A and B are shown apart, each in its own frame.
Chain A
Amino acid sequence: MPQQPIQAPFPGVFYRRPAPDQPPFVEPGQRVEADTVIGLIEVMKQFCELRAEATGTLITFEVEDETVVEAGQAIATLEGE
């Protein structure tokens, strides 16, 4: 199966949870659809949803929750179908 990165479209802070007291959007190993939200990126006080963009299995997150990411940086790896 082809593996592809899910990239940050712009720089910011990556969050795996919708709010600090809530569970992560997805866990590694979970099946996702193209429109599945896998996290949030905060840029200049605005939050933007990051979606899987393809159907498959999210194998691993490449960055920790609440870390600073650059534009184009791989956030997670997806195994397509």
Chain B
Amino acid sequence: MIRRLLIVNRGEIALRIVRAARELGIRSIVAHSEADADSLAARQADAAICIGPPQAAKSYLNPEAILHAARTCEADALHPGYGFLSENAAFARAVADAGLVFVGPDAAIIERMGDKAMARQTAIDAGVPVVPGSPGAVSDPARALALAEDIGFPLLIKAAAGGGGRGIRVVENAGTFDAQLRAAQAEARAAFGDDRVYLERFIARARHIEVQVLGDGRRAVHLFERECSLQRRRQKIFEECPSPALDEPTREALCHSAVALTEHVGYFGAGTLEYLFDETSGEFFFIEMNTRIQVEHPITEAVTGIDLVREMLRLAGGEPLRFTQSDIQRRGWAVEMRINAEDPERDFFPSPGVVQRLAWPSGPGVRVDSGLYEGYRMPPFYDSLVAKLIVWDDSRDAALARAARALDELVLEGFATTAGLHRRLLDTPQLRSAEVDTGFLERWLSSRPATTPAKEAVR
């Protein structure tokens, strides 16, 4: 049983955890930087404690300062939220060594699932499909071609030393494979001083679909999937639950594989398994696991009626999982729109400022998770996410219509945000018909004619 919870995070997620703690009768203490002393989370919590200067490296990422604060306020548990130290195994271990409950899995599981190569091998061991590829670097052309034919075309030749999209060639068919392999090796040698390359299936139209799980170390359940294909520079911006791309047999197979992997590692707490879904072939491939609560968790809460943050706290407090799989049902459809303090008209450049006017949308099916209030001065040191607008309705079409209604009600003045972008997205035939993949948003943004200046000027 947790009595005093130290929340080491900021913004909307710190407030979200304060609320869950309050509902469970747990005292909440928000650990904040000097820049966040007047945050809504710090104000709403039972207590607040400063852990250092504004720069995250000196506060939210400073284990010594955090553990000192935990001792000072006599906390018996610590919730890391998302980002910052939430997936840092050494930190999780230090928290446990200090005699506190870390609200999340233990350090060994964070380590195992946080390393991409280890997570991939763990998935293979648990019988979960991963993106087909060569087991290691390839060099001999004949053996490489044999491997390539097993993987299937089109495929990617990736430089082992590359990263961030560099050193990748797409090979359309076996006929050009040999020449492309030699060119890729030469390029890799020139660019990275290392000519090792490996092969991976190329998924032209991939959708990002992830499965929410809860585990108590002995057994696990899934809470269905979320689709997060609308991304810009790999940052999710709009999410929905469930995924419109899955039929029931695929959904069941996907969620079942997630539970198998979760139970295989004896997972504890809330987690998310991310997959790529190849719409052309109907195959799904595990890519990584996030061992923490995620930004987009509220859409799962809306559709399942289960409060994920409260369940995390219950599990961390020593209670066994309260659900069997058949207890968890989905109802209706939910979407989340991330309102970032970024200007879509200026290539999404950050737009910090003071909240001049604020009126949140409300009414049926609308939830807002945000740390904003009128007069709030947004510090320039952290992430640009300032609010999440979550909308539920009984069908996808109804949820999208309600999302448009909610956005039209939103009044948020003082800086540029992505709210207007969401409103325009909701009008696109591709979003309405759910014909999107992870490249859709960037293609749409680059093809879209500029907004008329007159309309933007009155913002």
Contact = CB atoms under 8 A, between A and B. Distances in A.
Interface stretch (A25-33, A42-50, A52-60, A72-80): A42-50
Given A43-B350, A43-B352, A44-B341, A13 B384 contact: no
A81 B54 CA distance: 38
Contacts of A48: 349
- Most chain A CB within a 10 A radius of its CB, from B55, B341, B349, B380: B380
Main SS class of interface, A: strand
A45 B54 contact: no
Q: Is the interface of B mostly helix, strand, loop or mixed?
A: loop
A39 interface: no
B55 A44 contact: no
Contacts of A68: 54-55, 381
Interface size grouping (class) on chain A: 10 to 19
B323 interface: no
Given A10-B352, A11-B352, A44 B54 contact: no
Nearest to B386: A44
B382 interface: yes
A48 B383 CA distance: 15
Contacts of B381: 12-13, 42, 44, 68
Contacts of A45: 350, 382-384
B55 A46 contact: no
B54 A46 contact: no
Contacts of A66: 55
A42 B349 CA distance: 11
Interface residues of B, number: 12
Contact of B384 (A10, A11, A12, A44): A44
Contacts of A44: 341-342, 350, 352, 380-384
Contacts of B350: 10, 43-46
Contacts of B342: 44
Interface in B45-67: 54-55
B164 to A, nearest CB: 15
A12 B342 CA distance: 15
A31 to B, nearest CB: 30
A46 B349 contact: yes
A44 B342 CA distance: 9
A67 to B, nearest CB: 10
Contacts of A13: 55, 380-381
A62 B228 CA distance: 45
Interface string B194-228: 00000000000000000000000000000000000
A48 B350 CA distance: 10
A12 B349 CA distance: 13
A46 B55 CA distance: 14
A27 B341 CA distance: 34
Nearest to B378: A44
A21 to B, nearest CB: 15
Interface in B301-341: 341
A10 B342 CA distance: 13
Nearest to B382: A44
Interface in B358-385: 380-384
Contacts of B341: 44
B234 to A, nearest CB: 13
Contacts of B384: 44-45
A66 B380 CA distance: 14
Contacts of A11: 352, 380
Nearest to B348: A46
B306 to A, nearest CB: 31
A44 B381 CA distance: 5
A48 B352 CA distance: 14
A45 B383 CA distance: 6
A66 B55 CA distance: 9
Of A12, A44, A48, chain B has the most CB atoms within 10 Å of the CB of A44
Interface in B421-447: none
Given A44-B342, A44-B381, A45-B382, 10 more contacts: A11-B352, A13-B380, A13-B381, A42-B380, A44-B352, A44-B383, A44-B384, A45-B350, A66-B55, A68-B55
Interface of A: 10-13, 42-46, 48, 66, 68
Shortest Cβ-Cβ A-B pairs, 9 listed = A44-B350, A11-B380, A44-B384, A43-B380, A12-B380, A43-B350, A46-B350, A44-B380, A11-B352
10 contacts: A10-B352, A11-B352, A12-B380, A12-B381, A13-B381, A42-B380, A43-B380, A44-B380, A46-B350, A68-B381
